[in-house]
Amino acid sequence: MGKDPISNILYIDLNRKRFWVEDRSELFEKYIGGTGVAIKLLEEEVPKNADPLGPENVIIFTVGPFNGVYPMASKTVAMFKSPLTGNLGESHAGGRSSIAIRLAGYGGIVIRGVSDIPVYIAIHEKKVYFRNASTLWGMRSSFTVGRIIRENEPGAGVRTIMRIGRAGEKLVRYACVVTETYRHFGRLGLGAVFGSKKLKAILISGRRHIPIKDKPLYRKIYGEIFDEAVNTPLMKKYHEIGTPVNVLRLNKIKGLPTKNLLQNYFEQAEKISGEYFAEKFLGRRVACSHCPVGCIHLAALKIPYEDVPYFEKTIFISYDYEPIYAVGSMLGIGDPEGVLKIIHEVDTYGLDAMSTGVVLAWLTEAFQRNLISIEDTNGLKFKWGDYETYIEAVRNIVYQPTELYKAVANGVEYASKIYGGEEFAMAFGGNEMPGYHTGPLSHFSYLVGSRHSHLDMAGYSLDQKLLGKTIVLEEAVEKLLREEEWRQVLTSLVICLFARGIYRPEMVSNAFKPLGIEFSVDDLMEIGKIIHREKYKFKIREGFDLDKVRIPERIFQTPTPHGYIDKKSFLRMIEIFKTKIKYNELKMKI
């Protein structure tokens, strides 16, 4: 029945509208797939100091050996040089993307160059088509773009459609790529990289075969994973209320960033909680391909037409914890419909909701402190909770009518260097912060995590586990680093991190066996460590420097559930981290 096609990399050259396949077994044998293979490809493809929005940047999508094989291996890794941070760009998404890529017969896709005209790429297993996307370029709504491509191409049910909105076309440095309408390669600006290449969308379809060596063992291990998945309370949590279950939990412990982190508690949290959304707005729950959990929550929002009696439209909005934090509590918005409307606007244009929310929060505070004028804001008077103004502002970020909006389209760190207010520009390593003010470890992990994401090393989680206890710095840093290293293995397979409790090291090692691949737990740990260092090397190569990172003062001024963060201890943790990864040695080598 042939061999597993995982090691096939599809190369696409937008300059010359060509494509070819190369066998890269050597990478998959050593680095598994996903994150591990992507970082090696990124290193070899992108020359040092390349312009992230220039022709030398590439777009890499990778999947891993478990995609299409085991449940909850449902994610795709995107890698690129980030136009937001200037170094490692890595973003993950689910939907149908990983299954489509894997079953089209590829372990990865590398897209090079820049197209002369707007295009979208359609990949139907071995066939690759460049379609003229001039008609789609400039279209206001990314929803319409998705609908048109859906009707224009075959493969319903076994395809992914990744696309950008106006924000990507306009090169907003935190524009995202939307897939299957409601999932996102959200962070670090992949949408702008698409836009810079005049690449409007990529459709991939496939339903190929993956041969298994030990079939009875495969069915047995599959059964074990499946049973755990459908019986664990954690999975129930993700299905019933979903990630927004965090709103009330974090608010209760006073760790919910509110009004640009002027507060750690939102008095109106009840109305934007997961429980409230589920009760009042939940229209449908859906799942990524090959995941029984179904954590995707779609709100159905009825909007009446003012000019036609008894007539309304129903729009669907995908809500999760992070967007609710970013365009909800962070902006002081306690009106759930207002939150949904901003999320809808952000999705219409294809922005990253998290960065956008933090940018809007900075704009509000900067406006209130008179750092920016009403001329700068194009007439908008920012006020906490005023969602209609924020919707206007989202459009301004995309269309950039003034110098201020041009600046904030580069991120909050960039804008604050020009206009001031750096102490409350809530970004780490250039990436706008996630929604956890749970203690020192959350912020530490945003700062040193290789993607500046809460998901890198999950400091927010360790903070909460240690509530009421003293944080021992050395121990905590060690734990977080090991966590990030292990997560490199999971995102190389590529497992959804929600399933990390099921895919324990022993389980992963066992699950490789039916594929005829042997990795001991120690092997896996070592690979995780290597991948992590490779990512850090790329960051350093592109100018990231742990000795020069900016820490927004605000995190020391607003208490956390662990009390005020002590700055000295915080800096000490960075030093411990540097010793542990032999940072100075890494830096010297590059």
Partner 1 sequence: MTKRLSIIDTERCIGCQLCMFACTRRFGDAGLDKSAIRVRSVGGIERGFTVIVCRACEDPPCARVCPTGALIPRKGGGVILNSSKCIGCQLCVDACIIGAIFWDDDTNKPIVCTQCGYCVDFCKYGVLEMEER
Q: Is 263 helix (H, G, I), strand (E, B) or coil?
A: strand
CB of residue 551 to partner 1, shortest distance in Å: 41
Closest Cα partner for 132 from 195, 191, 197, 200?
Answer: 200
Least distance CB 71 / partner 1 (angstroms): 7
Are 134 and 161 within 8 A, CB to CB?
A: no
What are the C-alpha distances in Å from 438 to residues 261, 443, 459? 12, 8, 9
Q: Does 139 bind partner 1 (CB under 8 A)?
A: no
Piece in contact with partner 1 (CB under 8 A), picked from 67-75, 160-168, 450-458, 571-579: 67-75
211 binds partner 1 (CB under 8 A): yes
Q: How far is the CB of 398 from partner 1 (least distance, A)?
A: 23
Per CB under 8 A, contacts with partner 1 among 506-565 are none
Tell me if 203 contacts partner 1 by CB under 8 A: no
The candidate with the shortest Cα–Cα distance to 99, out of 9, 159, 11, 33, is: 159
Token pair recorded at residue 290: 């090959």
The residue within the footprint of partner 1, chosen from 276, 316, 399, 556 (CB under 8 A), is 316
According to the binding rule CB under 8 A, does residue 156 interact with partner 1? yes
Which DSSP state fits 451?
T
Q: Tokens 């294809």 belong to which residue?
A: 350
Smallest separation (angstroms) from partner 1 to the CB of 134: 24
Residue closer to partner 1 by CB (options 298, 457) is 298
Which of 127/209 has CB closer to partner 1?
209
Token pair for 365: 């505070």
Say whether residue 252 binds partner 1 (CB under 8 A).
no
Residue positions counted in the chain = 590
Indicate whether 303 belongs to the interface with partner 1 (CB under 8 A).
Answer: no
The single residue listed with the structure tokens 């699950």 is: 511
Q: Name the minimum Å distance from CB 289 to partner 1.
A: 5
- Using N-to-C axis directions, what is the helix angle for 142-152 and 336-349, rounded to 10°? 60
Question: Of 34, 71, 107, 429, which lies in the binding site for partner 1, with binding defined by CB under 8 A?
Answer: 71
For the sheet containing 312-319, what is the strand order? 282-286, 296-304, 312-319
Candidates 212, 245, 262, 574: give the one binding partner 1 (CB under 8 A).
212
* 399 binds partner 1, rule: CB under 8 A: no
Considering only residues 326 to 355 of the shown chain, the ones binding partner 1 according to CB under 8 A are none
Window 166-195: residues binding partner 1 (CB under 8 A): 180-182
The strand ranges marked E within 74-133 are 76-81, 88-93, 108-112, 119-124, 127-132
Phi, psi of 363 (to 5 degrees): -60, -40
Least distance to partner 1, CB of residue 406, Å: 34
Residues between 264 and 283 with contacts to partner 1, criterion CB under 8 A? 283
3-state secondary structure of 11: strand
Shortest distance, position 296 Cβ to partner 1, whole Å: 8
Nearest-angstrom CA–CA distance, 264 and 252: 10
Q: Which of 253, 288, 331, 415 binds partner 1 (CB under 8 A)?
A: 288
Q: Is 215 in the site for partner 1 (CB under 8 A)?
A: yes
Query: Rounded to a whole number, what is the distance in angstroms from the first to the last CA of the chain?
Result: 45
What does the binding site for partner 1 look like in residue numbers (CB under 8 A)?
A: 1, 68-69, 71, 99, 103, 147, 150, 156-158, 180-182, 207-212, 215-216, 218-219, 222, 226, 230, 283-294, 298, 300, 316
